[in-house]
Structures are given as structure tokens and as C-alpha cells.
Amino acid sequence: MGKLNVIGLGYIGLPTSLMFAANGIEVVGTDLNAKLVSTLNEGKLTFEEEGLEEVFNTALSKGIEFKTEYEKTNRYIITVPTPYMATSKQIDATYVVAATKQVLEVCEPNTILVIESTISPGTIDKFVRPIIEEKGFKIGKDIHLVHAPERIIPGNMVYELENNARTIGADSKEVGEEVKSWYKSFCKNEIVVTDIKTAEMSKVVENTFRDINIAFANELAKMCDREGMDVYELIRIANKHPRVNILTPGPGVGGHCISVDPWFLVGDYPDIVNVVLGAREVNDGMPQYVFDKIHKIMKEHNIKDYSNVGLYGLTYKENVDDMRESPTLQLLDIFEKYNIDNVKIYDPFIKEKKFEGQVINLDSLLNDTELVVVLVSHDEIKNNQHMLNEKIVYDTRNIIENGKQVYKI
């Protein structure tokens, strides 16, 4: 087999390509972003992730290459973004289609083309197979199609790449087993080989399951808030039942998985989904709920100006620099809708100034603010709770124990 060409060097493609290379597979990483490729070729990572630098250095020592051009080979893994269309909620396969077309321009005979991007069930049948056939290639002979959905989370990528089970969907058992052998170079857990459509559905269903359970916790939080109850106490007690495991409520759902993938099912099966749609609406509605509660707290304490409000956290989860679809970004959109642009914002993982009102450290956030809204549970804020003692705190993550007055989600 030829070199392995990984297409797309973002949050999934980069660590995946590094893991392959560090474990003995010849890898070329391709991305159309010339600045990103240049940074990697300078020996610098493009985002922070625990344990990734060590893997990066090992991959460099094994000869990994980074280019803006597609490699002429017979092994490809596509890891490009897969958003959904705002109106129909169906998958926007534009990036997958473009990458596939580029592969077909350079690939060698008997090529294995793996789509690792998360896709809705039937995406390969609807979008990928027709392109291949239109180009005159024979599927199963010239091109072998595979779907191998990623299953990792920012903040724990290296561990999960090595230890999470994987799914390989392929047209033929033989090709599935071949691709399984690639991933076995670093994956220590079970790798299941199945058909393509089942593999497509499995990833979407996994994230939808989590979305639904988070939505239930968020609805409980709203009910408890109305009744003056402590939702965390309620969940703690309910979870003592041996078959109950209620998750933790929060200010919304972010990242490129849970906040996106369930929409694929809404878009593809509008006549079937009810629970999935309801969960999406609940979770997407949480930033508005947080905004309304901020306004209520301000009114209660006679805080008249939003310049006295500080938002802590921009990323979608703790201790990472990934802001994709974060609840804070959604909240900032709501502020903008109401022409509010004078709140202070701070996140220790976002070094570059990206927003009006963004400050450089926690001290700057706390200076001249009366109300601090904790939106992300970074270790920094967990370990420096004493700095909030004199502040009114709206804690959407249930991490602040003491303060002048602490409100929960």
C-alpha cells in the first residue's frame, strides 16, 4: 500500500494523522489552509491538547509530511467539516464532496477512500458514490469506500484515540479488515466492522443520545428554578437509583458533535423524530435562558449597566481552546441582538483578542464588575474561587461554593 493521505488537519484530522505516523504508518497530512500547513512544518502545533506535543514530535521523527496538495497514493482518509444547512437541517456535504473530487483527480488504481467526518446515514450513497461513478470509476474495483467515524473529545484526544472502541463501515469485509489493520496501529480497544450505513448512523445516534440526556437535565433545571428547588440535590438523590444516571445541566451544548449531529436526523426524518427535535430545541434555547436570568439577577441587585457584567469562559468545554458552537458564543449573539456590546469577556485558553470587551486575565475581568457569569468550568476558576468572594456570581456549571451571593443554572 502507498502512503496514507489524511485530508483536513483540524481538531480530528491532525491528531489522527499524528497517531498513524507515530505508530509507523507513512503519512502525508493535507490541508488547503496554507498558514496552518506552514505552522505545522515549522514544528508548531495549531491547537493545545494534552499529550499531543509528544505524539507530534514522534510523528515528525518518523517523517510525517504536511502539504496543501493531495498526495498521489491509494490510501485516503477525509476528515473535513460537516455542518448542517440552517433551513433544512440536513447535512451540508460540500466539503466532503469537494475533498472526494480532489482525491479522484490524483488517486492510484485500487484506492481505499475512508470518510472519517461525521455524516448522516445515507450520505455516502447520496453524495459520494454518484461522484465516483460520474468520473468513470468502478466502486469495489477502482475505489473502495469506507466510513470510519471518529470518537474522540477535545481535552482527552490522545487517550481516547488509543482507548476508545471504533467502528469501520465498508462495502466488503476484506476492505473493512484492511482499514481495521490501519487503526489497530494505535487503537487498543475493539474495532467493529459493519456496513457503511450502520456506521454512519452509529456516530449520529451516539451524539443524539447524549443530547437528549443533557436536554432532560436542562428541563429539570428550569422546573426546579421555577419551584425554588436545588436541581443538583434532586439529581444527586435520583441518581442513587441503580438504573438512573441523570446528567448535569448547563448553559447550552457546544462543540462540533452534540450540537450538530442530531440535526442530521431532524433534517432526514422530519416525519419521525419528536424526542430528538425537542432535545435540540431545549439545548439550543439554554443561552437565551441564561441571558434572561442574567437580566433578572441584574434587576434584583439594581445593576443597571451591562458593563458591570463579566462572562467567564468562551470555549465549549473546560480546559481546551475549542470554541466551536460554544454556549458563550451563542449568548454573545443574543447580546448583539439586543445591541449590548459592553460586557467583559475572558477565557484563559483564548489568547488572541477576538471579541469586543475581551480582557487578558481574570483580574481584568473582575475589576469594576459586580456580576460574574461562570460559563465554563476551567481549572483556573475552580482553583481561584476566592477571587469571586465579593462578587455576585451566576454559576452555570455548579463549581462555585462560596461568594457574596451565588446563583445556579
Distances (CA, A) of 12 to 9, 157, 161: 7, 9, 10
Q: pLDDT tens across 174-203, in order?
A: 999 999 999 999 999 999 999 999 999 999
Banded model confidence at residue 367, pLDDT cuts 50, 70, 90: very high
Which pLDDT score is estimated for 366?
95
Q: What is the dihedral of CA 316, 314, 236, 405, to 10 degrees?
A: -170
Q: What angle do CA 22, 186, 321 make, to 5 degrees?
A: 70
Neighbours of 366 (CB within 10 A): 20
Q: What is the pLDDT of residue 234?
A: 98
Task: Report the first-to-last Cα separation within the chain, whole angstroms.
Answer: 54
- Say how far residue 148 (Cα) sits from the centre of its chain: 17
d(CA 1, CA 110): 10
pLDDT of 216 reads 98
Joined together, the cell numbers standing for residue 77 give 482518509
Residues of the chain with pLDDT > 70, as a percent, come to 100
Q: Which of 107, 187, 224, 257 is catalytic?
A: 257
Cα–Cα distance for residue pair 123/260, rounded to 1 Å: 15
- E-strand ranges in 86-238 read 111-115, 143-147, 166-170, 191-194
- Asked if 403 contacts 371 with a C-beta cutoff of 8 angstroms, the reply is no
Position 314 confidence tier, pLDDT thresholds 50, 70, 90: very high
Mean pLDDT of 264-284: 97
Active site (annotated) includes residue 173? no
- Alpha-carbon span 33 to 56, nearest angstrom: 19
What is the mean pLDDT of the segment spanning 272-283?
A: 97
Cell matching residue 10: 483540524
State pLDDT tens for residues 148-167: 999 998 889 999 999 999 99
Beta bridge partners of 127: none
Contact, 319 vs 349, CB < 8 A? yes
Q: What is the mean pLDDT of residues 206-227?
A: 97
Q: Find the catalytic residue in 89, 180, 203, 293.
A: 203
Told to judge if 107 belongs to the known catalytic residues of this protein, a careful annotator would answer: no
The one-letter amino acid code at 324 reads R
Quick one: average pLDDT of 345-358?
94
Q: What is the CATH number of domain 228-408?
A: 3.40.50.720
Are domains 4-198 and 228-408 of this chain identical in fold?
A: yes
**pLDDT per residue as tens digits for the range 67-106:** 999 999 999 999 999 999 989 999 999 999 999 999 999 9
Domains of the chain, by residue range, sit at 4-198, 228-408
Residue with cell 484563559: 348
The domain defined by 4-198 folds into Rossmann fold (3.40.50)
**Is the pTM of the predicted complex or chain greater than 0.85?**
yes
Does the pLDDT value for residue 403 go beyond 80? no
How many whole angstroms separate alpha carbon 231 and alpha carbon 302?
26
Q: What is the length of the chain? A: 409
- Strands 143-147 and 166-170, by their bridges, are antiparallel
Q: What rounded mean pLDDT belongs to the chain?
A: 96
| Contacts of 15 by beta carbon, 8 Å cutoff, 6+ apart | 49, 52, 55, 152, 157, 158, 161
